[in-house]
Amino acid sequence: MERVRIGVVGAGFMGGLHARVVAESGLGHLAAVADPDAARGSELAERYGATAYPSHEAMLAGERLAAVIVATPEPLHRDAVVAAAGHGAAVLVEKPIAASLADADAMIAACDAAGVPLMVGYILRFEPAYARIKQAAEAGTLGRILTGYARRNAPIGEGRRLAGRTTVVNYLAVHDLDQLLWSIRSAPVRVSARAVRGKIHEEFGVADFTWITVEFADGGLGVVESGWALSEGWAGWSTPAAWGGFGDVELNLIGTDGVASLDFTPMNLYGVDDREGWRLPDTRHWPVINGRIVGALKNEVDHFLDCVATGRPPLVDGREGRRSLELGLAADRSIAEGQPVDLPLG
């Protein structure tokens, strides 16, 4: 089978991981990388024998690509996605789909008009334990879901790396808002959120931690706790590098007939050493095993490549990406206005 020719837009943290997964895949061929940071783009492209371009426009003009992965900062997703669709390329865009509903609508419309799939990179959909909870919810094992609680608190290094470019809601909580929407099939009708300020607010002017409450039409309740200011002590071991720490992460659904719960804080593994103390490395999202990235990110990219090759619809498309974005934007509005926000957003 011919490999899917792929270009990656944005050679930063996630773009680098996507590029590596594609380069290691037997299904895809990493043809090009686009990034206005010439050093970063060239370094990533050269590592995998791809061509570097200074922009997505130059990349799309210079290459025949079947698919494009967009991993730029959130407000820049729209331009790259619309341009890729205009060239007939299938698109995998990192979460959240965009920074505004207008951008999301334009991206969905462009991909619909071009007849290309638009997938949103909600990695937890491809994490087996999260997917097993979804299966239990869908099979009716839990009965009617009464409460969903999710937690995603990252070490402060992540808050500092993002440096206020987005909110913790639209960077972290959206993962869990998408999970609640995935398992609780009732429509969300109201969002209330509060934020607290700490070091990240002092340094960058955005909140450190937020708690979001989502009310569903069937009376169910979701709570998402998220933040990016956990103690530095959560950061991963420097050696081995692949022992990067993740954070404090949980999902707990309580239904009328059952409970499903996961705790990813230790992700099945913890260790301690004399120099750096206790560590809880990632074993699920993108650990490197035997020289290759395995886990949820690889599952996600494989799924995308399979959709491109077979024409199957992606598990999480633009419209689903828009739903979690809407919840995230409602939460940020509720924080700003100090009162609950009704859905859909006006």
- Residues lying near ligand NAD in the complex (CB under 6 A): 9-15, 34-37, 40, 55-56, 71-74, 76, 94-95, 121, 123, 171
Shortest Cβ distance from residue 122 to ligand NAD (Å)? 7
Shortest Cβ distance from residue 17 to ligand NAD (Å)? 8
Shortest Cβ distance from residue 54 to ligand NAD (Å)? 8
Shortest Cβ distance from residue 14 to ligand NAD (Å)? 3
Nearer Cβ to ligand NAD (37/218): 37
Nearer Cβ to ligand NAD (216/264): 264
CB 30, CB 19: distance < 8 Å: yes
Spatial separation of the C-alpha atoms in residues 188 and 222, rounded to whole Å: 9
Shortest Cβ distance from residue 37 to ligand NAD (Å)? 4
Nearer Cβ to ligand NAD (14/145): 14
Nearer Cβ to ligand NAD (7/255): 7
Nearer Cβ to ligand NAD (80/142): 80
In the β-sheet with 259-263, what is the strand arrangement from edge to edge?
Answer: 259-263, 248-255, 145-155, 221-230, 209-216, 188-196, 341-342
CB 166, CB 332: distance < 8 Å: no
Spatial separation of the C-alpha atoms in residues 84 and 55, rounded to whole Å: 12
- Among candidate residues 273, 301, 269, the one with its CA nearest the CA of residue 283: 269
Q: Specify the DSSP class assigned to residue 147.
A: E
Spatial separation of the C-alpha atoms in residues 66 and 54, rounded to whole Å: 20
Q: Which residue has the closest beta carbon to ligand NAD?
A: 12
